[in-house]
Structure 1
Amino acid sequence: MVPLRGRSEELGKLLEALRAAGTGRASLAVVSGEPGIGKSALLAAAVEQAERQGFLVASAVAHQTDNISPLASLAPALRAGSEPLIDTEQFLELANLNTQPLWLAERLADLIGRRLAGVRALIVLDDAQWSDPLTAFVLRVAVDRLPTAQVLWLLATRPTSGGVTDQLVEAVNVPVHSIPLAPLSADAIQDLAADRLHRAVDPSLAVQLAGVQGIPFLAEQLIAGLYLSDNDLSAGLVEGVRRRTKELSETSRELVRTAAVFGSEFRLEDVAVLMAVPVARLAAPLEEAIQAGLLADGGSLLRFRHELLRSAALADVPPSAQRALHGAIANQLMSAGRGAAAAAPHVLAVAQPGDTAAVETLREAARDLLATMSTTAAEVIQQAFDLTREGDPLRAEVGMEVVSVLLAAYQYDRARAFAEDLRRGATADVRATLLLHLAPFRRLDADELTAPGAAAHLAERLAGHRALAGADAPASATDPIAHGLLQVAEAERAWGEGRFGDARALYAAARRAPVGLGSLPATLVEVGELYCRAETDELPAALARVRELMTAGDSWAAPQLAVLHARLEYASGNLQEAEDAAHAGLRWMDQLHDRTLAPAADQVLALVALLRGHLSQARKLAGSDPTISALLAIADGDTHAVDRLATTPYDFPERIAVLLQGNALRELEQVQPSAASRGALAVVAAGDDVEKLAAALELLRSADRPLLLAQAEERYGRAALEAGDRANGVPALEHALDSLAALGATAPAGRIQAILQAAGVRRRRWAAVPPRAQEGWESLTPMERRVALLVADGHTNRSAADELVVSASTVGTHLRAVFGKLGVNSRVQLTRLVLERFAPPPNA
């Protein structure tokens, strides 16, 4: 390999990142610089070093035409080599997910993670500024998902503010190595020239090399005769290419000029059609262009060796000829069945405002791209709109399509702003239609959802959305889509009142409504139904369905699905799965730039942390949630906080278990009957009556809620022990202990284990309940926490003793223990520590 000149510092940074990757510290390196500055050469040197060190190397180059094909930029890296990152069967599986970008990205990250297990790897993408949107999205997900993999992600890009690499750098949570490339020194340019010539540089050439201004690509082209040293860099390249092409045959020159209009890559058969020359007759002219250093043969596609060479060749094609060729290329691609998307760039190159044929081609291209490349489709349909004239009847029609496509690309803010501009001066029906495109995203207020004078069916649908936004609902609707919206609105009201059976039936009916303008996404309606099914004795079936939807449903609904998944896993006692689902939901919210449901995910995470005894973590996640705050207070020893659990809202995860803990008899009586609610109500109503508690347990055994059952078993076991019935009390407590320990609920398991040990129960092996921490807040007993909180609140030992109904000396004993465990030696220090710990979160 030719030596890399003048880049030892930059290569050193990449090699250091490679060494770190070998120890499991994944990172992202971004090499940036202007065209011709040597990015590809630096990447090639890094690849050579990585291969020598035994790294698995996967590399690809993005091209300008990639944005019409999903994953076009990254796919070659995934499939390259004898041991590819993704095998054929897996790649075909991924193709089925092209319409669901989030599921595809998640699946791909999972596959790459498995492939890289125990393997050191370098994954390279050159010219990343041209990455297709799906590749850009997949990179954001995959890099973030694999922080401990032995991998270095290496991208090269032109400096483009807000481009693909900038978005990637902002999104990932791994170390980022930014490596900008400056022009080479004069000595490095001389050394590079000597390497290419295999001899020393003579003085005349040295003078010419000074004119390339440190750009290695131009130095190489100067040596190859494709650049003439000039104060104007671009003019020097154009003149050099012009001089070299004069040595070619006329057919070869025509081939190069035609290809330059096609783009950086092209098919020989397409050029042959435009030149009206048989493909066979272009073999020799093509070889001339390749030997001249202008083109490279990639098999099915031909490419210019560098985009700068294409630009130089294109400068020799008069503008009028370029326009004619673009038009002919567009017609050729369409007639050859390549589709409107492939023709779109050439259509845009020649289209003028008012060109209805161009508008229709671009609309067709946007429709073709929408399913798999919604971001590109959004840009294409916007360009179609820009070609329509003011007053043209087609303008409103295309404008509404712009809004629809932007929403499909999940660009809500942009769609809303465009719709607001379009509504000015529009007819009532157009205004209503635009609102009905936006309304299913549930971000418009009720008073915004009006369009006086609109057609009856449109008005009814808007009324349905106003009901969903909280306004009074009309008594009925004749339009079937509007009727479905009213059913969802009524379902949400029933859910909010705890009437889960009624809500479930309404959601199910709404899902049978026809789909059309203004319809809610089917997945989101089903999410509501599944919540209610889980509350009406169908938890296992609901959980199975949401797991299925996590890969088969609408990936834009991923946050809602993830929160539902987390709640149902938690209700089923699957704490690790619940935690994983909640974290996945938060990650997807960040990727979709919508954190509306973050508090719901944090609720589940806080509840899991409480069950594991991780109070500090639960406190950080609790925010201002009153129920979790009450549960934390109970864990800290505040027995009065139990009363606050009765106010737990209807939509709180596993509300029935919380009401049971709070002995909220009246609230449990109002819960719609289910095995869980009937059993919990019976437990609370039984009090300390052992026989009634035993009967209540039988009700709960069919509820498929192991955490709730263990909570009731603990009550029964304690009551039985207090009644002297060890024969029933001990087995009940042991069963609850074993269940909780198996689920990872170490906090309640530890409490039950302490009860059994205090009762003199001896077992060969106790459950693996982690011991209490020896220092810090977690090391305090519940009574010590209460003393600490009271003292920080200004209580004396005497007043704290009165509050706790103990002696002042007992308070003093607990306070000394608190000082020792927290490492403080005064009430002032203790107060400061408590205030810092329990300060409300910002903006709470």
Structure 2
Amino acid sequence: MRPLRGRSAELGRLLDALRAAAEGRSSLAVVSGEPGIGKSALLAAAVEQAERHGFLVASASAQQTDNISPLSSLAPALRAGKEPLVDTAQFMELATLNTQPLWLAERLADLIGRRLDGTSAVIVLDDAQWSDPLTAFVLRVVAARLADSQLLWLLATRPSPGGVTDQLTDAVRGQVPIHAINLTPLATEAIQDLAADLLNGPVDPSLAVQLAGVQGIPFLAEQLIAGLYLGSSTDTTGPLPTGLVEGVRRRTSGLSELSRTLVRTAAVFGSEFRLEDVAVLMAEPVARLADPLEEAVQSGLLTDAGAVLRFRHELLRSAALADVPPSAQRALHGAIASQLMSAGRGAAAAAPHVLAVAQPGDASAVATLREAARGLLATMSTTAAEVIQEAFDLTLIDEPLRAEVGEEVVSILLTARQYDRAKAFADDLLSGSVLYRGPITPMLQATVRLHLAPYQWPTDRLDVRDLTVAGAEPPLAERLAAFRVLAGAETPGAPEDPVARGVLLVAAAVKERAAGRYATALEYYADARRVSAGLGSLPDALVEMGELCCRAEVDELPGALERVRELLSGGDSWVAPQLAVLQARLEYASGNLAEAAQAANTGLRWMSQLHDSTLAPVAHQVLALVALQRGKLSHARELAGHDPTINALLAIADGDTKAVARLRDVPRDFPERTDILVHAGAEDLLAEQAAATPSTAHRGALELVAAGNDLERLAAATETLRTAHRPLLLAKAEELYGGAVLESDRSAGIATLEHALDTLTALGATAPAGRTQAVLQAAGVRRRRWSAVPPRAQEGWDALTPMERRVALLVAEGHTNRSAAEELVVSASTVGTHLRSAFGKLGVNSRVQLTRLVLERFTPPPNA
């Protein structure tokens, strides 16, 4: 391999990243620069060094045509080498997940992670700007997931603001180090050295003068020496240096006529092509093109990769294409499109060539592009969205076909999960704007609004004004009316249309669920899922999630949780964040604190990857509840934001007994609301809930609060809760019953408390475990070894006792010792004692410092 000239600093940065990867610090390196600046050479030098140091290297180069094939840009890297990152069986498994990008990315991250366990590796992708959409998505997910691996991601790209590499760096920033390397033109000395390497000898003065004209671009220096670049300046013709066009023209003039035709025809096909396709277009037998092809290869223009042929560089293809007149290019593109379609290669393969020649009003081109978009939709929805938009743009502004294609644009954008773009397009389409000046019929309005409505419902964005269309046909009118009911704007009717009936059943389920009548809501959800689907149907996955929420409230928690786990293993990946948050809620209800936190964090990660943070507040609620159970109050406070329920629980933990009353306002959809109401002693609200849904958990919780200090009733409530599958609630019952029975039956009380302690310890609920252990110790119970309740921190906020925290917060609010004492119903001297202790643990020595610390730590950030 030739020495890399003029890039020692850049190569040094990549070598540092490689060394860091070998030490277990994953990172991302993005090499950017204009065509011909030397990106590929720098990547090759880094790869050589990586292989020399025992790295596993997986390398690929994206192609311009990759956006019609899922994962086509990254796949060659996954399958490269004797020991590929992904073996054949695994790759075939991945192929079945092309329609579920999140599952594919998660599975690929697992496969690569296991493959690289203890192995240093570099994954290289050249020309990343051409990556297909699935590759771009997978890179964002997998790079973040493998942040702890011995892995360097090395990508080269042309400047492309907002493109693949910008999206990737935005996605992983803060998770892995990012090395942004922008290549600039080489110094004159480096160009001279590069030329000497190519010539295997010194550069004569006349050549040195010519090399000065390449202005530091190594590709042009190489082509100058190879005879494919002429001139002493980089004056351009369009995007190309004039000397390159002239040099390629001179080189091709020495080829046979057939070889020149082959090169120019191939240039229209693209940077990568098949010989048989060019042969058909040239009306020549493939065998007759063997010698002309060899001429083109020997001329330095083409390379033979076996299954396909490629131009040695995109700039060479562009230079060859410059000698094909525009009219000839148009004719060739049209012929290529027809050929690809007739050969069964599909509308998607023909689409780029159709776009190159199509004119506004070309119905045939629009039809081909629509077919291409539909064909791409299942596996390449992002590309499908762009293709259907191109089809729409080719229709005339006032023809009915534009409305028909416009409806399809909305549908495909929604399938590609580009909701905001779909909504904006739909509003423009139906507004009589410059987007469409044809007749806006009731059919068009109703159809477009029914495409949008199922996507608007889960995010509370149904607008009744959009759901009223005068003159809509009866089935569509009934569906729109059903959505108005779902939005809470109308009372339900009795539609004949099955889709409308399904939406009304969900509306009824939502209403019953909001009233706490979970059993009735469950029946409505189940009935809705049995109704036939059509335009305007609500997503079955979301309807089933509502059903599962209700199952968890009617003594079917284990079955509901098992079903959620099953859906997460193979359901619709587009609703994965919602499923993960539901799993977090059900895991928490089941007492599985570690699993609940993991599911909530996974849901947040997936929300970030899919750009949908709708359920982030619920995930944070679960994480805060887990933190409270574990006694990690600072972490819970960081997660709480403005959530009133979490903040009330934190205030109680800080010693504010008055905050208990605030728990009565807990929203009905708050995770494990029943537990919160037990904490609040809200007998009336628990009675209301038990009357609406008399499940074991609801009845047991009511009995527990209603029992007061009645030992018999406490015992009965505890026994009821033993079959409720709510171990945290059961432990609370045992704590109350055990503490109450200690005086009259010490043996029974201790046994009950010890059972609660063992349960809480096993669940990792160290905060209630600590309280229970304290009761046992106060009762004189001595164990050879107590449960592993973590000791209180020695310094910082977590080191404060509940009373010390309460005093600190009151002082930070401006209270004097006396007014704080009145608030806490203690003496001023007691407040002073607690305040001095807090000062010591927090490392402050004044009220001003204390106030500043409290404000910095607990004031929510702007827009929290």
2:412 counterpart (401, 405, 414): 405
2:521 counterpart (503, 518, 540): 503
- The residue aligned with 2:82 is 82
Please give the residue correspondences for 1:781-820 in structure 2 after superposition, counting only pairs within 5 Å.
Answer: 781-820=801-840
Mapped to 2, the partners of 1:302 and 1:11 lie a distance apart of 31
Please give the residue correspondences for 1:512-531 in structure 2 after superposition, counting only pairs within 5 Å.
Answer: 512-531=530-549
2:281 counterpart (274, 284, 295): 274
- The residue aligned with 2:448 is 434
Matched, 1:494 2:512: yes
Give 1:842 shift.
2.4
SS at 1:673's partner residue? Answer: coil
Mapped to 2, the partners of 1:147 and 1:9 lie a distance apart of 25
Mapped to 2, the partners of 1:762 and 1:93 lie a distance apart of 57
Matched, 1:453 2:460: no
8 Å contact from structure 2 (residues 638, 858) kept in 1: no
Q: Which amino acid aligns with 1:137?
A: F
Mapped to 2, the partners of 1:90 and 1:767 lie a distance apart of 45
2:199 counterpart (197, 200, 218): 197
SS at 1:155's partner residue? Answer: strand
Give 1:321 shift.
1.8
Mapped to 2, the partners of 1:320 and 1:829 lie a distance apart of 78
Mapped to 2, the partners of 1:487 and 1:614 lie a distance apart of 42
Matched, 1:700 2:744: no
- The residue aligned with 1:315 is 322
2:773 counterpart (753, 762, 765): 753
Give 1:295 shift.
0.9
- The residue aligned with 1:673 is 694
8 Å contact from structure 1 (residues 776, 821) kept in 2: yes
SS at 2:534's partner residue? Answer: coil
8 Å contact from structure 1 (residues 34, 158) kept in 2: yes
8 Å contact from structure 1 (residues 70, 135) kept in 2: yes
Give 1:111 shift.
2.0
Please give the residue correspondences for 1:819-830 in structure 2 after superposition, counting only pairs within 5 Å.
Answer: 819-830=839-850
Mapped to 2, the partners of 1:637 and 1:283 lie a distance apart of 87
- The residue aligned with 1:221 is 223
Matched, 1:767 2:787: yes
Mapped to 1, the partners of 2:837 and 2:643 lie a distance apart of 30
2:755 counterpart (735, 743, 749): 735
Give 1:827 shift.
3.1
Could you tell which deviates more after superposition, 826-835 or 292-301?
826-835
Mapped to 1, the partners of 2:426 and 2:9 lie a distance apart of 51
Mapped to 2, the partners of 1:826 and 1:320 lie a distance apart of 83
Runs of 5+ unmatched residues, structure 2: 433-438
Give 1:840 shift.
4.3
Give 1:147 shift.
1.9
Mapped to 2, the partners of 1:11 and 1:787 lie a distance apart of 58
Mapped to 1, the partners of 2:316 and 2:863 lie a distance apart of 56
SS at 1:212's partner residue? Answer: coil
RMSD of aligned residue pairs (Cα, Å): 1.5
Give 1:181 shift.
0.6
1:177 counterpart (176, 179, 184): 179
Give 1:841 shift.
4.1
Please give the residue correspondences for 1:253-332 in structure 2 after superposition, counting only pairs within 5 Å.
Answer: 253-332=260-339
8 Å contact from structure 2 (residues 209, 232) kept in 1: no
Could you tell which deviates more after superposition, 758-767 or 181-190?
758-767
TM-score under structure 1 length normalisation: 0.98
SS at 1:31's partner residue? Answer: strand
Could you tell which deviates more after superposition, 20-29 or 123-132?
20-29
Please give the residue correspondences for 1:40-119 in structure 2 after superposition, counting only pairs within 5 Å.
Answer: 40-119=40-119
Give 1:403 shift.
0.8
Identity %: 75
Give 1:372 shift.
0.6
Matched, 1:212 2:214: yes
Runs of 5+ unmatched residues, structure 1: none
Please give the residue correspondences for 1:582-593 in structure 2 after superposition, counting only pairs within 5 Å.
Answer: 582-593=600-611
Deviations 1:548-575 (A, max 9, x none): 2123222221221121111111111111
Could you tell which deviates more after superposition, 466-475 or 161-170?
466-475
- The residue aligned with 1:485 is 503
Give 1:470 shift.
2.3
- The residue aligned with 2:435 is none
- The residue aligned with 2:481 is 463
Give 1:476 shift.
2.2
Give 1:384 shift.
0.8
8 Å contact from structure 1 (residues 463, 473) kept in 2: no
Q: Which amino acid aligns with 1:820?
A: G
Give 1:799 shift.
4.1
Mapped to 1, the partners of 2:382 and 2:139 lie a distance apart of 16
Matched, 1:652 2:673: no
Mapped to 1, the partners of 2:348 and 2:422 lie a distance apart of 22
Mapped to 2, the partners of 1:790 and 1:44 lie a distance apart of 64
Q: Which amino acid aligns with 2:296?
A: A
Give 1:427 shift.
0.9
Mapped to 2, the partners of 1:60 and 1:663 lie a distance apart of 63
Could you tell which deviates more after superposition, 609-618 or 279-288?
279-288
Give 1:794 shift.
4.0
Distance 1:607 1:215, change over 3 A: same
Mapped to 1, the partners of 2:826 and 2:356 lie a distance apart of 86
Deviations 1:471-523 (A, max 9, x none): 12332222111111111111111111111111111111111122111111111
Give 1:434 shift.
1.0
Mapped to 2, the partners of 1:567 and 1:444 lie a distance apart of 26
Deviations 1:760-818 (A, max 9, x none): 22223222111100111111111222222333344444444444343443333222211
8 Å contact from structure 1 (residues 56, 120) kept in 2: yes
1:363 counterpart (339, 364, 370): 370
Deviations 1:440-499 (A, max 9, x none): 112232223221121121121111112222212332222111111111111111111111
Q: Which amino acid aligns with 1:553?
A: G
Matched, 1:350 2:357: yes
Distance 1:605 1:292, change over 3 A: same
Mapped to 2, the partners of 1:149 and 1:473 lie a distance apart of 57
- The residue aligned with 2:383 is 376
- The residue aligned with 2:436 is none
Distance 1:245 1:831, change over 3 A: closer
8 Å contact from structure 1 (residues 473, 486) kept in 2: no
Distance 1:760 1:7, change over 3 A: same
Q: Which amino acid aligns with 2:448?
A: L
Give 1:739 shift.
1.5
- The residue aligned with 1:245 is 252
Could you tell which deviates more after superposition, 64-73 or 707-716?
707-716
Deviations 1:340-398 (A, max 9, x none): 10011111111122211111111110000001101100111111111111332211111
8 Å contact from structure 2 (residues 211, 232) kept in 1: no
8 Å contact from structure 1 (residues 67, 131) kept in 2: yes
Q: Which amino acid aligns with 2:277?
A: D
Give 1:155 shift.
0.6
- The residue aligned with 2:644 is 626
Q: Which amino acid aligns with 2:177?
A: P
8 Å contact from structure 1 (residues 359, 384) kept in 2: yes
- The residue aligned with 2:462 is 444
Mapped to 1, the partners of 2:630 and 2:854 lie a distance apart of 22
8 Å contact from structure 2 (residues 212, 232) kept in 1: no
Give 1:132 shift.
0.2
- The residue aligned with 1:140 is 140
Mapped to 2, the partners of 1:471 and 1:220 lie a distance apart of 71
